[in-house]
Amino acid sequence: MSDLAYFDYALVLPEERYLIEVQAGNPATGVTRRNDELEKLAKDALITVVGQGPADLAEKLKPTPISESDAKNLTKVQQLLSGPDCAVYLVE
């Protein structure tokens, strides 16, 4: 089993699809993160990639949790963000 949690998000216009990989464990403490923490990290990373928008952008973005096997079936086209807690890829 991986130490990553995976999220998928697709934009309609422009048509783009993202894979967000989030470290399941907090690197500083070693404690496994709760689902709400994982989702917040995924949203924050996605906002960084997509860009700042309206104040309610965080509520509108809903990255979907996906399995590791589903994530491996996506083709990574370009890495858009890399950090200690997460990475964001443009995928097909």
pLDDT tens digits along 14-72: 788 999 999 999 888 889 999 999 999 998 898 888 876 666 677 777 889 999 999 99
For residue 74, pLDDT beyond 90: yes
Domain that holds residue 25: 4-91
In the chain, how many domains are there? 1
pLDDT computed for residue 12 by the predictor: 67
pLDDT computed for residue 13 by the predictor: 59
Residues 6+ apart with CB under 8 A from 77: 89, 90, 91, 92
pLDDT computed for residue 28 by the predictor: 83
